[in-house]
Amino acid sequence: MNIIPLPKEFTESSGVYLIDGKIKSDFRLDLLDDFAVFSDDASFVIEKDSSVPEEGYKLSVTPERLTVKASTKTGAYYALQSVRRLCGFDLGNREVPCCEIEDEPRFKWRGLHLDESRHFFGEKEVKRLLDFMFAEKLNTFHWHLTDDQGWRVEIKKYPLLTEIGSKRAYTQVGGWGSDKIEALEHGGYYTQQQIAEIVEYAAERGITVVPEIDFPAHCAAAIAAYPYIACFETKTEVPGYFGGLIPEKQGNYRWNRTLCCGKETTFEFVFGVLDELCSLFPSRYIHIGGDEAPSGEWKLCKDCQRVIKENGLKNEEQLQGWFENRLIAYLRDKGKTPIGWNEIIRAENLDNANNSVAIQYWTPKRDTFAENYAQKGGTMILSNHQSFYFDMPYAMMPLCNTYNYFPKNYGINNADAKNVLGVEGELWSEWIPDRAKLDLSAFPRMQALAEVAWTPEDRRDFDSFKRRLDELKPTLKKLGIGYAEDCISLNDDKKLKDEILEKFSCGDPCLEVKLNKN
Active site residues: 147, 218, 292
Are the beta carbons of 87 and 43 closer than 8 angstroms?
no
How far apart, in whole angstroms, are the C-alpha atoms of residue 455 and residue 457? 6
Q: With H, G, I as helix, E, B as strand and everything else as coil, classify residue 151.
A: strand
Burial of 486 (0-12, 13-18, 19+ CB in 10 A): middle
Task: Name which of 129, 133, 126, 144 is nearest 110 in CA terms.
Answer: 133
A 10 A CB-CB count for 494 gives 9
User: Which residues does 499 contact at the CB level (< 8 Å), separation at least 6?
Assistant: 511
Alpha carbon distance 220, 222 (integer Å) = 5
- Which residues share a beta bridge with 57? 103
How distant is the alpha carbon of residue 373 from its chain centre?
22
Residue type, 106: R
Strand segments (E) across 288-403: 337-341, 358-361, 379-382
H/E stretch holding 126: helix 123-135
Stated as kind and residue range, the H or E segment containing 500 is helix 494-505
For residues 314 and 321, give the distance between their C-alpha atoms in angstroms, rounded to a whole number.
11
Cα–Cα separations (whole angstroms), residue 326 to 288, 370, 383: 12, 21, 26
| The dihedral sign for the CA sequence 389, 394, 395, 400 | positive
At 20, the amino acid letter reads: D
For 37, counting Cβ atoms within 10 Å of its Cβ (0-12 exposed, 13-18 middle, 19+ buried), the class is exposed
Task: Name the β-bridge partners of 96.
Answer: 17
Contacts of 309 (CB under 8 A, 6+ apart): none
Phi/psi at 356 (5° precision): -95, 10
The closest of 279, 117, 288 to 199, measured between CA atoms, is 279
Query: What amino acid occupies position 66?
Result: L
Half-sphere exposure of 54 (CA within 13 A, CB side): 5
Task: Please say whether the beta carbons of 388 and 410 come within 8 A.
Answer: no
- Torsion, Cα 306 308 310 312, to 10 degrees, reads -160
| Structural contact between residues 288 and 213, judged by C-beta atoms closer than 8 angstroms | yes
